[in-house]
Amino acid sequence: MANNLRFISSANVTFNLLDFDYAKLKTANFHVVSWVPEVEKKQFGEKVNRFTKKPQIFECSFYFKGDAARRKQQIDDFIYQTEQDCARLSPGRIYWNEQYIEVYFNTHDTHPVDAGANWTEIKGQFYAPFPFWTQEQTLIIRPSGQSQEGFPENVKGYPESRSFVYGYEYAYPYAATAVLIDVDTAIPSDFKAVVYGPANFVQFFVSGHKYQVNYALRSGQYMVIDSRDTTPMNRKCIVVNENGSIINVFDYRDPTSLLFKKVPNGSVVLNYSRTYGIDFTVFQERSAPK
C-alpha cells in the first residue's frame, strides 16, 4: 500500500495524489501486469521463444473538490503540467513510495460527477513507454585511504559538494575492497556509476564481470557510466569537468569489457582497487510497485 503517492511533472512540479488540495487519485490500475509471449506454432501447442512487454497503460480517475473557481484552478494547473510533458516529449514520474515510473498523461476527459456537485472528476490514462517501476539503490564507495573526518556514515555523497543526490543511499565501509549487493528483482538491472578522480583509468568488477574505461581523470573531474537504453549514446560514458563542461569518452571503453552489461539479480559482489571514489546506483525494475 502506498502511503506516499505523487506525480512529479518534467518541470519538477509535484502533485500529492492522496490529497484533495492537489489531485486526489480515486482509481488506477497500477498493478495490472502483462507479459506477451513470442511463439512458434507447433503441431501440438506452441513453443515460447521469449516474453516481451508492451508499454503500460494506466486507466485512472481524479477527484477535485471545493468551489468551482478552486476546482478550475487545480485542474488547469494539473493539465498544464501534463500537457507540457507531452509537448516537450519529456515524461513526468509517478512515485509509489520510493518506486517510480515515467509516464505521460496523454488522454483525459473532465466533467462534474453530478449536477450541482461540489467536485469534478477527470478520467484519463497515463502512458508509460518503459513498462517498469524503478527503485534506485545507491552504494557510496570512498577511497580506502580517505579520512573519515567530514564524511559521516550516512553521507549524501562524495565529495560533500556534490550537487546531485539519489533516492536511496547507504555508505560503504572503509576497510574492505568488495561488498555484497542484494539486487531484489526478477530480471537483470541497469546501473549508473559515478567515478571521482584522480584515477589513471577506471576499472571495477560486478560479480566477476569487468567494466573498464581507459581514460585518466584529474582531481575534480568525474566520470559517469550509464547503462540505461533511455540515456542518449553521447551521454552513456562521459567525463564532467570542474566547470561543468562534458567530454564524451565512449570510445575509450576497454575492448575486452562489455561496459553496459546489466547487473544480475540476486546477491552480487562489487569489487575494485578502492583508489578512487564511486557512487554505484542499481536501477531495480519491477512490473508493478510493491
Q: What's the gap between Cα 27 and its chain centre?
A: 24
Q: Where does a domain end: 107, 131, 155?
A: 131
Q: Are 131 and 53 in contact (CB under 8 A)?
A: yes
Per the structure, the complete domain to which residue 41 belongs is given by 5-131
Answer whether 214's CB lies under 8 Å from 282's CB: no
- How many whole angstroms separate alpha carbon 254 and alpha carbon 239? 16
Query: Tell me, what's the pLDDT at 151?
Result: 35
Question: Of all residues in the chain, what percent carry a pLDDT higher than 70?
Answer: 87
Asked if residue 148 and residue 123 are part of one domain, the reply reads: no
Distance CA 16, CA 77 (A): 13
**What's the grid cell of residue 239?**
567525463
Residues 211 and 282 in one domain: yes
- Claim to verify: residue 106 and residue 165 sit in the same structural domain: no
| pTM of the shown model | 0.82
**pLDDT above 70 (res 165):** no
State which of 100, 131, 162 marks the end of a domain. Answer: 131
- Domain of 16, CATH number, reads 2.40.30.200
First-to-last alpha carbon distance for the chain, in angstroms, is: 8
Tell me: do 43 and 96 sit in the same domain: yes
Pairing of strands 202-206, 190-196: unpaired
> Which region among 25-29, 110-114, 278-282 has the lowest average model confidence (pLDDT)?
110-114
Does position 96 have pLDDT exceeding 90, yes or no? yes
Model pLDDT for residues 239-251, shown as the tens digit of each residue:
999 999 999 999 9
Q: Which of 32, 58, 56, 54 is nearest to 124 (CA)?
A: 58
d(Cα 283, Cα 285) in Å, to the nearest integer?
Answer: 6
Same domain, 276 and 138: yes
Q: Is the model's pLDDT at 174 over the cut of 50? A: no
- Considering only residues 143 and 42, tell me which one the structure prediction assigns the higher pLDDT: 42
Q: Which residue's entry shows cell 477527484?
A: 63
End of a domain among 74, 97, 131? Answer: 131
Average pLDDT, rounded, for the chain: 87
H/E run at residue 22:
none
57 Cβ contact list (under 8 Å, min separation 6) = 125, 126, 127, 128
Q: Are residues 140 and 60 in the same domain?
A: no
Model pLDDT, residue 118: 80
Task: Say whether pLDDT at 160 is over 80.
Answer: no
**Same domain, yes or no, for 242 and 259?**
yes
124-151, pLDDT tens digit by residue? 999 999 999 999 998 888 887 653 333 3
Q: Give the count of domains, the chain.
A: 2
Asked if residues 237 and 250 have their Cβ atoms less than 8 Å apart, the reply is yes
Beta strands in 53-206 (DSSP E): 56-65, 92-96, 99-112, 119-128, 133-141, 169-171, 178-183, 190-196, 202-206
Provide the CATH number for the domain around residue 169. Answer: 2.60.120
**Residue 282 and residue 140 share a domain:** yes
74 shares its domain with 141: no
The pLDDT of residue 206? 94
pLDDT at 161 (0 to 100): 41
User: How far is residue 278's CA from residue 262's CA, in Å, rounded to a whole number?
Assistant: 17
Does one domain contain both 213 and 171?
yes
Q: Are 33 and 171 in the same domain?
A: no
141 and 202 belong to one structural domain: yes
